[in-house]
Amino acid sequence: MSTQDLLARIGQSQEETEFYTPMPEGYRRGKHKYVVVVGTVISGLGKGIFSSSLAKLLQDKGLRVAPIKMEGYLNIDSGTLNPFRHGEVFVLDDGMECDMDLGTYERLLDQDLTGANFTTNGQILSGVLKKEREGGYLGRDVQVIPHVTGEVKLRLRELAAKTDADVVFVEVGGTVGDYENIFYLEAVRQLAYEEGEGSVCFVALTYVLEPGSLGEQKSKAAQLGIKRLMEMGIMPNIVACRAPSPVTDKVRQKISMATNVPMPRVISMHDVPSIYLIPEALREASIDREVLTLLGLHDRVVQRHEDRVRAQWKNYVERIGRAERSVQIAITGKYTALRDAYASIIKAVEHCSVNLGCNVELQWIDTTTIDASNVAEHLKGIHGVIVPGGFGVRGTEGKIDCIRYARENGLPYLGICLGFQMAVIEYARNVCGVADANSTEFDPQCKSPIIDILPEQKRIEGLGGNMRLGGKDVELKPGTLAARLFNDAKKIRLRFRHRYEVDPKYIDDLEKAGLVFSGKHPTQPIMQIFELPQEVHPYFVGTQAHPELTSRPLRPQPLFLGFVKAAMNFAFDKPRVLQATEK
């Protein structure tokens, strides 16, 4: 747009107004409702778990729901965040790298989400500045209010219109009082004002302290945190109280009096063995009915749909923790001190354990302490090994020692992303005889770069210097274990997050030595899944993908399901141990 055109638009604009409410095409005011979940007292209370559990209850009733997580950091996405600081990076099918809470939403709602379900301060501010450079504000001085808050409201309404959602669940990251989320809170306050009464339900998730020295629960911190929210003009409709043990009626009464929230809407959200028990706990507290009343949605409920899906879910949760047999599975990585770094793997294993009726006990092994002399001791009593994804050289040689031990001793193995690459390197070194096999990620000058960034692959995928991200099609080789795990499908879809590949010039030698690449890119020599034949090893499988990202409670991911089955066979049936080099 030229300067003259911009000035003409400014001159032709209507009388200046303080109202700034951009509306996306197709948006229907009154059709779309909102549930906004905010936290007080401390972070990490489980806002995403609560929000997704409540969203599931409304989804079960036949309503269309759409979640969105609004993060306060200035990063455009979560891709560069250290797992030690922020937990795992969850990758959506469209390639968006986002917060691990998006994984909770996908698993509980059984939905594949997109970048529209996740936003950050960086995204919001970038959008505002882009519009300012393009003349989108018609000469106005661009301010936090109304323009930044207007961008937030636009994102929420765009999601509602795009998904045709009955209810949009808005999770505001951090806690009330954080500088970084203050314009999110102001935006949702404005949203409630603009949408009108009965359109927005506010939920305050708070924390009830239980000091060991006092022997009783204390609610003062919770009261003050919620009052901070009320000072911002947001009156909560529901208060969910997190605590280690059930919140007493006395504490709920105090919080009710301090916040003007009726007692039936002040609920206990105490610790439970599995997050998958929370939806039914909220249902028993009638919070789903309260939300329907607050938002005027009773007439949209499809009771037959709720009865059917509730029975399916109940059948699943009733089996949690009920199994009599157990297996020990080792997760061998370098972030083992922080379980959130492997949150999706933990959940994928849990899905399998419930569906197979076997408790899986995870053993966390830091590979920086492992070498060939002690690997057997570290893996003593283990029935299966997972080598997860990761970046950097630290701990990789320990992973290779674990992989070799699993391969040579018939121990079920599942390699994920880096675990795929390490297993290929191990096989090249110890079976193919390529002693200096390595990855250019760890040694850019290595003589035998089995794993490398390939220029032709970068052109194929359009990657440049970035990672290969999101959902990709994988062609399966007929008759292989991988094909059988996916019910003899010819093509499947997996999610990826990596830069390095198996160099095609080594593929023939690896396959001649017995390694089978059973999953490949449909048109290019990019290896996605490998395996050893089952007559050689009961379960030795790796994938360049992250299959844990697509596992669901009622639909366990097939590569994980096959792995846990193999671990059960190893633990209870003790199959004959075969060397990978046996014919």
Q: Residue 158 belongs to what H/E stretch?
A: helix 149-163
pLDDT in tens, 124-173: 999 999 998 988 888 788 899 999 999 999 999 999 999 999 999 999 99
Whether residues 81 and 223 share a domain: the answer is yes
Q: What is the mean pLDDT of residues 231-244?
A: 96
C-alpha–C-alpha distance, residues 474 and 186, integer Å: 45
pLDDT of residue 578: 40
Whether residues 361 and 384 share a domain: the answer is yes
* CA neighbor of 403 nearest in space, from 219, 580, 180: 580
Residue 311 domain boundaries: 33-316
On whether the CB atoms of residues 201 and 34 are closer than 8 A, the answer is yes
| Domain presence at residue 580 | no
Q: Residue 452 belongs to what H/E stretch?
A: strand 448-452
| Domain presence at residue 48 | yes
| Domain presence at residue 310 | yes
Lowest-pLDDT choice from 453-457, 519-523, 547-551: 453-457
C-alpha–C-alpha distance, residues 134 and 84, integer Å: 39
Q: Is 85 a residue whose pLDDT tops 80? A: no
Q: Is 225 a residue whose pLDDT tops 60? A: yes
Pair of tokens at residue 554: 């009622």
Which CATH number belongs to the domain containing residue 498 in this structure?
3.40.50.880
On whether the CB atoms of residues 412 and 406 are closer than 8 A, the answer is yes
Q: Which residues are within 8 A (CB) of 142 and not within 5 positions of it... i.e. 6 or more apart?
A: 128, 132
C-alpha–C-alpha distance, residues 238 and 230, integer Å: 13
- Name the pLDDT band for 459 (thresholds 50, 70, 90): low
pLDDT of residue 8: 46
Q: Is 81 a residue whose pLDDT tops 90? A: no
Q: Residue 463 belongs to what H/E stretch?
A: none
Q: Which residue has the tokens 């909102």?
A: 34
| Domain presence at residue 27 | no
Whether residues 304 and 343 share a domain: the answer is no
On whether the CB atoms of residues 99 and 84 are closer than 8 A, the answer is no
Count of domains in the chain?
A: 2
Highest mean pLDDT out of 164-173, 212-221, 565-574: 164-173
Q: Is 301 a residue whose pLDDT tops 90? A: yes
Whether residues 215 and 309 share a domain: the answer is yes
Looking at 290, 316, 342, which one is the last position of a domain?
316
Whether residues 351 and 488 share a domain: the answer is yes
* Distance in Å from the first CA to the final CA of the chain: 71
On whether the CB atoms of residues 101 and 46 are closer than 8 A, the answer is no
Q: What is the mean pLDDT of residues 101-106?
A: 95
pLDDT of residue 394: 75
Whether residues 240 and 361 share a domain: the answer is no
Whether residues 263 and 392 share a domain: the answer is no
Q: What is the mean pLDDT of residues 227-251?
A: 95
Whether residues 124 and 261 share a domain: the answer is yes
| Domain presence at residue 104 | yes
Whether residues 273 and 348 share a domain: the answer is no
C-alpha–C-alpha distance, residues 216 and 118, integer Å: 39
pLDDT in tens, 19-75: 788 899 889 898 999 999 999 998 888 999 999 999 999 999 999 999 999 999 999
C-alpha–C-alpha distance, residues 32 and 504, integer Å: 51
Residue type, 327: V
Report the DSSP beta bridge partners of residue 326: 359
Report the DSSP beta bridge partners of residue 516: 531
C-alpha–C-alpha distance, residues 126 and 386, integer Å: 39
Whether residues 385 and 257 share a domain: the answer is no
On whether the CB atoms of residues 305 and 61 are closer than 8 A, the answer is yes
Residues noted as catalytic: 417, 546, 548
- Name the pLDDT band for 461 (thresholds 50, 70, 90): low
pLDDT of residue 583: 31
Q: Is 243 a residue whose pLDDT tops 50? A: yes
pLDDT of residue 306: 93
Report the DSSP beta bridge partners of residue 98: 90
pLDDT in tens, 335-388: 666 677 889 999 999 999 999 999 999 999 988 888 899 999 999 999 999 999
Q: Of all residues in the chain, what percent carry a pLDDT higher than 90?
A: 74
On whether the CB atoms of residues 561 and 353 are closer than 8 A, the answer is no
Whether residues 358 and 278 share a domain: the answer is no
Looking at 316, 339, 374, which one is the last position of a domain?
316
Q: Is 14 a residue whose pLDDT tops 80? A: no
Which CATH number belongs to the domain containing residue 288 in this structure?
3.40.50.300
**How many helices, marked H, and strands, marked E, lie in the chain?**
20, 21
| Domain presence at residue 28 | no
C-alpha–C-alpha distance, residues 323 and 571, integer Å: 15
Residue type, 19: F
Residue type, 382: I
| Domain presence at residue 25 | no
| Domain presence at residue 118 | yes
Whether residues 246 and 120 share a domain: the answer is yes
C-alpha–C-alpha distance, residues 554 and 106, integer Å: 12
Q: What is the mean pLDDT of residues 418-437?
A: 94
Q: Which residues are within 8 A (CB) of 332 and not within 5 positions of it... i.e. 6 or more apart?
A: 365, 367, 370, 385, 386, 387, 388, 398, 399, 402
Q: Which residues are within 8 A (CB) of 308 and not within 5 positions of it... i.e. 6 or more apart?
A: none
* CA neighbor of 97 nearest in space, from 123, 76, 70, 122: 76
Lowest-pLDDT choice from 73-82, 95-104, 169-178, 351-360: 73-82
Q: What is the mean pLDDT of residues 295-314?
A: 94
pLDDT of residue 26: 86
Looking at 316, 335, 360, which one is the last position of a domain?
316
Tell me whether residue 110 is exposed, middle or buried, using C-beta atoms within 10 angstroms of its C-beta: 0 to 12, 13 to 18, 19 or more.
Answer: middle
pLDDT of residue 4: 47
DSSP 367: G
